[in-house]
Structure 1
Amino acid sequence: MPKDFRATTLERAIGRQLAGWRNERELSLAEAGQRVGFSSAKLSTMENAVQPSAPVDIMALGYVYKVPTAEWQAVVLRAQHAEQARASAFHIAMNFDPAADFAELVFEATLLRVFTTDLVPTIFQLPGYTTAAMQTDNPVRTARTAMAREAWTARLGDKDPLTVQAVFPEAVLWQMVGGPRVTKAQLLHLIEVSEHPAVTVQVVPHGAGAYPAMGSPFTLLSFPHRQHNDVAYLETFLKSEYIEDPALTEQCRRRFEALQQLALDSDESLELIAEAASLADPANLAAIGAH
């Protein structure tokens, strides 16, 4: 294994697939390794993507696990592509959709730093808010948002829960997504999740003026393994992508830290969120309209 090996997200997805095959057959690492002629250590490093998975080794696992031919061949093709991409230092993931994979990274991460510009961060969104934001015409994106939210919710009860640091501009609080009732429920939920010790929410106030990464939302994920670099996740209504170049993810980290310095602290942010939730109450809106 190269000393400086860093697994790409494609290689990590391949590792999860290999582990899934073994778990479906209820085999331990030792049992599976014995069947295929691998050591438990080698199989573990393949599943955890701490070394590249050779296409021939994936083929052997597919045969031993009696995986349908078309299924293991698809994974072999991905491994071949990953191998070629690594050799050429060029990575375009064939048949690999970052938006579909994102929830898996949420499960694996230790730290998630998210900056949004128009909406409450995905993992904090209530279903009604998500549906309204997607204009009900994008069921695939709605489902993927739900997967990311569920992945984060599942981590809340962990011994070492995922640490989440979120920053967004004040305009997010005043955007009536789905109407006053949906917006108020969402803001109250945001206050609730902010009380969790692993969650930090900060708001960039209107008065701050221009700020770093303005108009460019991103999510930056960090992981426990040395072989897994930070990954930045970017999403638009057209496509999603992972950024894995360390120089680029470092730019994301610096901008996020600058946003944190510029934003209100947690207590001040919660006060502002509570104020927005109060004003989003339909009764208050009606009273304001009457005057």
Structure 2
Amino acid sequence: MQLRTVRGAERHGKLGEKLDMPKDFRATTLERAIGRSLAAWRNERAFSLAEAGMRVGFSSAKLSTMENAVQPSAPVDIMALGYAYRVPTTEWQAVVLQAQHAERSRSDLRRVEVFDPAADFVSLVFEATWLRAFTTDLVPTVFHLAGYTNAAMQAGDPERTARWAKVREACSARLTDKDPLVVQAVFPEAVLWQVVGGPRVMKAQLLHLMEVSEHPAVSVQVVPRGAGAYPAMGSPFTLLGFPHRQHNEVAYMETFLKGEYVEEPGLIEQCTRQFTSLQKIALSPGESLELIAEAAAEL
């Protein structure tokens, strides 16, 4: 596409039409990143807004709104800027792809949420053959006692409390199956000394953890304080595997805001590597059991 073609399209309304955005428009972080890329292209070439506008046939005002993400940047407009600024093809194509994704994402935001991973997670626990949990602040949900869950939630999130109770019940039921759920858990030592719910509740939770860790299908490992920094630090996650070949492994992550599934094979492989590294750094199951008993005795 030559520059005169871009300008001609602009004059005929095929490019650069100013969007009539609603007053409540708010740019996403991706749209803001796109704007920064456009500004960087222009600044790298030392073009003023007026000079850049003349080259592509856009007004200075339009370029400013694009760079500052006051309105979405249309993919065709980004393409025009890429040609006008002589940006390397692969570079402007990458930003065009970002803009196309931003358009789809903005459309998705207007849709009604039809699937809630947090609510669905308990079903996956029932279906799974193995579960690997890494937590950073609490005992893994699958091993919770009711009092510990209630204390952790501080009665501030009844829906989440109910979901965690169902996950705990699902795991308990699966451990008594003919083919029990294989559970591997890793968490830092600090979890043992965080007295959630007071000494009585915490001691009961630790004793329960000791009891369940003796189940042949359960492995509990603690990352000792002396280990220093460790893989996935501050980023809890749960991995699940399933009996059917058609069902891929899934990673589940949850915050107080929402739950989220990760299903891309490459990302699952990263989670698997992180968990394996955690197991290598952590104490053995036997050593971990001794540490849990020590923490319980202190309460």
TM-score by length of 2: 0.63
SS at match of 1:151: helix
Q: Number of residue pairs matched?
A: 191
**The structure with more radius of gyration:** 2
Matched, 1:137 2:156: yes
Alignment of 1:55-134 (within 5 A): 94-134=113-153
Q: How far 1:94 moved relative to its partner?
A: 3.9
Greater relative contact order, per chain length (Cα 8 Å cut-off, separation 6+): 1
Q: How far 1:214 moved relative to its partner?
A: 0.0
The residue identity in structure 2 corresponding to 1:259 is: L
Matched, 1:180 2:224: no
Residue matched to 2:265: 246
The residue identity in structure 1 corresponding to 2:161 is: T
RMSD of aligned residue pairs (Cα, Å): 1.5
Q: How far 1:157 moved relative to its partner?
A: 1.5
Matched, 1:170 2:189: yes
Q: Which runs of 4+ in 1 moved over 2 A?
A: 91-94
- Counterpart selection for 1:202 from 211, 221, 228: 221
Q: Which runs of 5+ in 1 are unaligned?
A: 1-87, 281-291
Percent identity for Structure 1 against Structure 2: 74
The residue identity in structure 2 corresponding to 1:163 is: V
| Distance in 2 between residues matched to 1:247 and 1:145, nearest whole Å | 28
SS at match of 2:185: strand
Q: Which runs of 5+ in 2 are unaligned?
A: 1-103
The residue identity in structure 2 corresponding to 1:140 is: E
The residue identity in structure 2 corresponding to 1:162 is: L
TM-score by length of 1: 0.64
| Distance in 1 between residues matched to 2:293 and 2:173, nearest whole Å | 26
SS at match of 1:213: coil
SS at match of 2:166: helix
SS at match of 1:192: helix
The residue identity in structure 2 corresponding to 1:250 is: E
The residue identity in structure 1 corresponding to 2:238 is: T
Q: How far 1:137 moved relative to its partner?
A: 1.1
